[in-house]
Amino acid sequence: MKQFNVPVFYRSPLISAIKTRRKADDKLKKDFAPTLLDFGPVKFYLARHFGFCYGVENAIEIAYRCVDENPGKRIFLLSEMIHNPQVNADLQAKGIRFLQDSYGNTLIPFAELNNDDVVIIPAFGTTTAIEEKLVQMGISPQRYNTTCPFVEKVWNRGAQLAANGYSLVIHGKPQHEETRATFSRASDNAPAVVVNDMAEAKLLGKYIIGTLPEAQFYVDFAGRHSQDFDIAKDLQYFGVINQTTQLASDTQAIADYLKNLAEQHLGETDALGKKRFSDTRDTLCYATNDNQTAVREMLQTPADLAIVVGGYNSSNTSHLVELCESVLPTFYIKSTENILSRDLITHFDWRNKVEQTTTGFLPMQTPVNILLTSGASCPDALVEEVMHHLLGYFSGHTPIEDVVSIFMSNDN
């Protein structure tokens, strides 16, 4: 896989060494067991896969290259390049300004741009309408386009379905930048509608089988269906694509549910043999799949708590938290700043979108077993900092260099 030029301060010598060893021992990526780092009074179980993915490293490399190649020019990002506060703050410190927030609200009006300005497309991609607006202003949206290749894969898959006469159901968070971009591309090619979760998939199913009045569809899915979407005919033939960072099991369950419902109500094929539901390959990105599988495997290990590091608006990170908290106490943090003391931690409630405080999060008895992972947009350096910070609360622990040396010398 391509090696990217990412600033060294995002790297962690410790974690890089561990990942390199695990990769060498498991070239086919079949072993998803966590890595044990035993410090005596505290044991960390690092997920097999976590941290910067291909798309994130690609985006960071392009953004920093853009700064180097355009001295003296005004540089803008359409919105946050990735969902990590440290990385976005670093880019702003380089002089890059954001045109929109993560929900598409204007921070700097497009009218303030001129054709000498540089605009970076974030890793989530953007809508065709915004691309066209930039072109009309004389700004190339492709020159510094950091759209993740796996997001583009979903767009291509949607275009293939549309070319074969299928409408598109998109499983994604409606306000997420990636979902908005995917919906834009899908709507250019076919009738499209967005469902957020299984509850909404079941609601959509009632319109497929006709148990709810057609007019109500346009209320229930307002702002989430393509123009001129006809609920009476546009779901006679359809396929499911997704936001790449969704929970894999959720996307599969939604696709299975809608497929079975459509086939039971309309038949598997029409009179000419055309399938009502077009099966799609899983369009989650490899990192999302690997990280979720690694967390599921990590959760097989008895532990006292889990810590997940990442930006609070990171979709892929929130799904790792969701998996962990179904099994044991889980704390979703941005950095070591959240760990206030051995007894006190602030962490994010991703369901209610609020930060909360928990006391006594670290058990008093030892050893304390901690599961540790991070989202695909989180620098490894932050994960190492969390480990060092937590180790500071345990006197007499084995030096970190010794533990790593033991791990590196062991035959796994």
96-105 LR contacts (CB < 8 Å, sep 24+): 96/63, 96/67, 96/120, 102/175, 102/176, 102/177, 102/313, 103/175, 104/79, 104/175, 104/177, 104/180
Phi first, then psi, for residue 43 (nearest 5°) are -125, 130
| Total Cβ atoms within 10 A of residue 19 | 18
| Total Cβ atoms within 10 A of residue 269 | 12
Listed in sequence order, the residues at least 6 apart from 180 whose beta carbon sits closer than 8 Å to its beta carbon are 104, 127, 174
Q: What is the DSSP string of 61-86?
A: HHHHHHHHH-TTS-EEESS-SSS-HH
Is residue 297 annotated as a catalytic residue, yes or no? no
Whole-number Cα distances in Å, 363 to 238, 368, 377, 391? 51, 7, 29, 14
Phi first, then psi, for residue 120 (nearest 5°) are -100, 130
Q: What is the DSSP string of 214-245?
A: HHHHHHHTTTSB-TT--TTTTTSSEEEEE-TT
Token pair listed for 368: 């304390």
Q: Identify the active-site residue in 178, 200, 322, 384.
A: 178
Listed in sequence order, the residues at least 6 apart from 410 whose beta carbon sits closer than 8 Å to its beta carbon are none
- In 234-297, which ranges are E strands? 238-242
Orientation angle between helical segments 400-409 and 13-25, nearest 10 degrees: 10
Q: What is the DSSP string of 38-60?
A: E-SSEEEEE-SS-S--HHHHHHH
Q: Contact, 332 vs 348, CB < 8 A?
A: yes
Rounded Cα distance, 177 and 123, in Å: 9
Edge-first strand order for the sheet with 118-120 is: 97-98, 75-77, 118-120
Q: Contact, 346 vs 338, CB < 8 A?
A: yes
Residue 157's closest CA among 287, 277, 253, 281?
Answer: 281
Active site residues: 178
